[in-house]
Amino acid sequence: MARIEQVELEQQRHDIQADLRNLVEKYRAIFDWDVPEINQELADKLLLTEMHKSLDEIEKMLAR
């Protein structure tokens, strides 16, 4: 039997993914506005790397 936390996560998974996609698109748009001739592939890589770093920092903060 699944733990209640796992059940709750499964119920929220779609919303979490949608929220993250929206956040990525928000910052992709800002990059486009600031630098019209941007290398989108590089910008995406940099953005995702920064998001991973931020998630790592949040994870460390929550582990205290």
Q: What is the pTM of this model?
A: 0.79
pLDDT of residue 1: 58
CB–CB of 10/4 below 8 Å?
A: no
Domain count for the chain: 1
The model's pLDDT over 9-51, given as tens digits with 9 standing for 90+, comes to 999 999 999 999 999 999 999 988 888 888 999 999 999 999 9
> Using CA atoms, how far apart are residues 47 and 31, in angstroms rounded to an integer?
9
CB–CB of 25/43 below 8 Å?
A: no
Range of the domain at 45: 4-62
